[in-house]
Amino acid sequence: MVDLGEAKKRAEGLRKEIEKHNYYYYVLDSPVITDEEYDALYRELVELERRFPEIITPDSPTQRVGGKPKEEFRKVVHEIPMLSMDNVFTQEELQSFVSRVHRILEREVDFTTELKVDGIAVSLVYEDGRFVLGATRGDGRVGEDVTENLRTIKSLPLRLMELLPGRLEVRGEVYMTKEDFASLNRSREEDGEPLFANPRNAAAGSLRQLDPNVTAKRRLRIFVYQVVHPEEYGLFSQFQVLSWLRNKGFPTQGNERICKNFEGLWNYIEEWKEKRHSLAYATDGVVVKVDDLTAYELLGTTAKAPRWQIAFKYPAEEQRTRLLRIEVSVGRTGALTPVAILEPVRLAGTVVQRASLHNEDEIKRLDVRVGDYVYVRKAGEIIPEVVRVDYSARTGQERPFAIPENCPVCGATVVRLVGEVAYRCPNKSCPAQIKESIKHFASRDAMDIKGLGEKIIEQLVDKKMVGGFADLYKLKKEDLISLDRMGPKSAEKLINAINSSKDRPLSRLIYALGIRYVGSRTAEILAERFKSMDNLAKADIQDLSDIPGIGPQIASSIVAFFRDEKNLATIKDLARCGIKMAEEESERQEGPWEGWKIVFTGELEKATRNEAENIVKDLGAIPSSSVSRNVAFVVVGRNPGSKLAKAQELGVKIVDEQTFWIWVDEAKSKKGN
C-alpha cells in the first residue's frame, strides 16, 4: 500500500516526466514516447492525486482542467506597460521605419523578423520556475487575471525545464489553429450560436471566459516571444531571447531570422507572403524588431507603441471569380446551407471552388445571383466566403436563387421556424442528417471514435449498414472489410476504437446525442447534476431552468428531445449495446464537513483556489461559486470580491484564511479518527 510520502515522491517524478514530454511535443515537435505511454503516465498521476488530494500542486499537469467559474476577472497592473504595435503596409513605409531607427541610433543595426500570429497578447509570471500569474494586455497598463484559463493551455509550461530562482515575466500570443477554429464554428453553427469572425476573435473570446472549463474545451495554443528585464538573464539580443525561451521550455514560433539590411527584411516578407498560408495558424504580417536590446531605451516609445519594432501587415486578399451555381447542403440538425460553386480561383495559398453563402437572408442582402461575378475572401484566412458582387459586370442573364421547397436529399418539405434564419429539413431519417449526426457522434469532443472518418461514414450510410448511432456498435469486422480501402487490420482497429468508446463519460454521450443548443460544456453541467441518462430524461423544464447556465431555450430543447419516442428508442438501443449511461459514483467515507457549502473570495496565501477546493471536497464539503443563506461560511483572502459584501448582507459566517486552515486541520484529525 502506497503511503503519503511515497505518493508525494512518485507524483513529483510523474509531473517532471510529463512536463518533459510536453516540452518534446509542443516545443521541439519531436515526441519520444507514444500517445498511449503519455496517457498512462497522466492516468497514474490523476489516480495518485485522487487518492491523496493533499499532494496536488498548482503546477501539476492535472490542474490544466478548468476550475470553478469566476464572477469577474481581477485587475492586474503591468509593471512595464504592454504596448501595441504600429503598422506599415508598403515597402516605402517599412524603409522609412528602418531609416528612422538608423538615424536615432546613428548607426546601422540588425533586425529580427518573426511572423505576426493573429492572436491575443498575454503576460506570464513565473516564481521559482512555476507559473503563478497570467494576464491579458487590457489597455496596456491594466489587464485581467486569466491565470486559471491559461493553465488549460497544454503547450504552456506550468513549471520550467530548470529551476529559475526569483520572478520571471515573459510575454506571448495566445492563438487558435485554423483547424480548431473551423471545428469550433461548425459546432456553434449546429448549436444555433453566433459564429466567431476569425481565429483571433475566437481566441480572445475563449481566453476571457469566466468559466475555465469552457476555455479548456477550446484548444488554445501559445507562442512566447519576449522576456521582461532580459538583462537580468544575460540576454542582449532578440534572437538570443527566442533561443533562451525554447531552452527553458517555452513554445516559440521558430521562423525567426536575423536580417542584416533592408533587402534581407524585404526578402523575408516576400518569402512568407504565400508560404504563411501553409501554416496551421493564421498570420497577418511580419513583426520587425531591432535585434539589439540595449538600443531599446534610446529608441523609446510613443504613447501606444515602441519605436524599436513595427508590424508589416499583408493586404487582405480577395479574388474575383464567377458564380456557376448554388448548391444546398443539409447539416445534422436539418439546416439547409447554400454553398456557392465557383470557377476555380487561387486564394490565400489554395484553389477555391466552393464558398459559404450562409443563408437565404445573406443571399438577399448581397443580391447575389447565379452567373454573377463575385469577390471571395477567406474569413480568418480559413473559410472561403462571398463578400460582394460585381454588379457592373451583369448582362441580364443572371438568375436569382431561392431556397428549395423540398430537401435536396430526401425530398421532405422544408420549414422555417419563427425567429430563425435557417430553413430546415424536418425528416430525422434524411440520409444527410444521419451522416452529419454520426460524424458529430464520433467526433473528438463526443465519443471520440478514432478512424471513423467522413468517407467511411458515407459508405456505411449509403450501403444501409448504419442508420443510427447504435448500429455502429453492431458492426462486425467482416462488414467493414467490404468497404473501399478497408483491409483486415484497418477493420479490426476501427472495431476496437468503436468498442473502447463504450466507456466514455456520461457528458460525452450527452453531447454526442446532438441535442440542439447543448454544447460540450452544457453536457458536462447536465452530467454533473443528473448523474445518469435516466435522471436527465425525466427532468422537466423547471428542473433544468434551475441549473445555472441552462436557459429556457436549452431547457425546452432538452425536454423536447427526451419526449421524442425515436430518441428514447435510440438511447435504449445504445444501452443494450453496452454504452455507459451513468456516472460512476466514487466510494468514499462521509467527511466531517459533509454537505456544507463553502465559498472562497480573494487570494489565499497557503494554497491556490483549486487546492483549497479539493481539500474541502475531501472533507465532504461542496465548494460554491455564489453566496446564499445555505452557505456554511465564506473564506476571505487578500483582495476579496463582491462575495464578501454579499455574505455580510445575508449574515453568513465569515472567516479569515488563518482560521480556515486551523479548522481544516481539526477536521482532518476527526476524519482520521
Report in angstroms the alpha-carbon separations of 462 from 387, 435, 470, 474, 524. Answer: 35, 9, 16, 17, 33
Burial tier of 671 (Cβ tally within 10 Å: 0-12, 13-18, 19+): middle
Whether 116 is a known active-site residue: answer: yes
- What is the distance, to the nearest Å, from the Cα of residue 85 to the centroid of all Cα atoms in its chain? 26
Residue 587 annotated in ligand binding: no
Report in angstroms the alpha-carbon separations of 489 from 474, 486, 492, 495. Answer: 18, 8, 5, 10
Residue 35 annotated in ligand binding: yes
Secondary structure in 3-state letters for 479-542: HHHCCCCCCHHHHHHHHHHHHHHHHCCHHHHHHHCCCCCCCHHHHHHHHHHHCEHHHHHHCCHH
Residue 492 annotated in ligand binding: no
Burial tier of 431 (Cβ tally within 10 Å: 0-12, 13-18, 19+): middle
Residue 410 annotated in ligand binding: yes
Residue 318 annotated in ligand binding: no
- What is the distance, to the nearest Å, from the Cα of residue 80 to the centroid of all Cα atoms in its chain? 29
Contact call for residues 545 and 558 (beta carbons, < 8 A): no
Contact call for residues 279 and 348 (beta carbons, < 8 A): no
Residue 448 annotated in ligand binding: no
CA nearest 81: which of 239, 307, 238, 301?
Answer: 301
Residue 577 annotated in ligand binding: no
- Tell me the C-alpha distance between 134 and 128, whole Å: 15
- Tell me the C-alpha distance between 85 and 312, whole Å: 10
Report in angstroms the alpha-carbon separations of 366 from 193, 326, 372, 388, 392. Answer: 22, 14, 11, 6, 14
One-letter amino acid for residue 255 of the chain: N
Residue 38 annotated in ligand binding: yes
Residue 581 annotated in ligand binding: no
CA nearest 226: which of 94, 88, 85?
Answer: 85
Backbone angles phi, psi at 495, to 5 degrees: -60, -45
Residue 430 annotated in ligand binding: yes
- The bridge status of strand 309-313 relative to strand 283-290 is antiparallel
The Cβ of residue 69 has, within 10 Å, a number of other Cβ atoms equal to 16
Contact call for residues 371 and 399 (beta carbons, < 8 A): yes
Terminal-residue alpha carbon distance, the chain = 19
Which listed residue (8, 16, 75, 116) is catalytic? 116
C-alpha cell at 75: 485587475
- Tell me the C-alpha distance between 196 and 203, whole Å: 9
Secondary structure in 3-state letters for 583-649: CCCCCCCCCCCCCCEEEEECECCCCCHHHHHHHHHHCCCEEECCCCCCEEEEEECECCCHHHHHHHH
Rg (CA), the chain: 28
- List of residues 6+ apart from 90 with CB closer than 8 A: none
Binding site, annotated residues? 35-39, 84-85, 114, 137, 173, 289, 313, 407, 410, 425, 430
Binding site, annotated residues for Zn(2+)? 407, 410, 425, 430
Binding site, annotated residues for NAD(+)? 35-39, 84-85, 114, 137, 173, 289, 313
Q: Please identify every residue annotated as catalytic.
A: 116
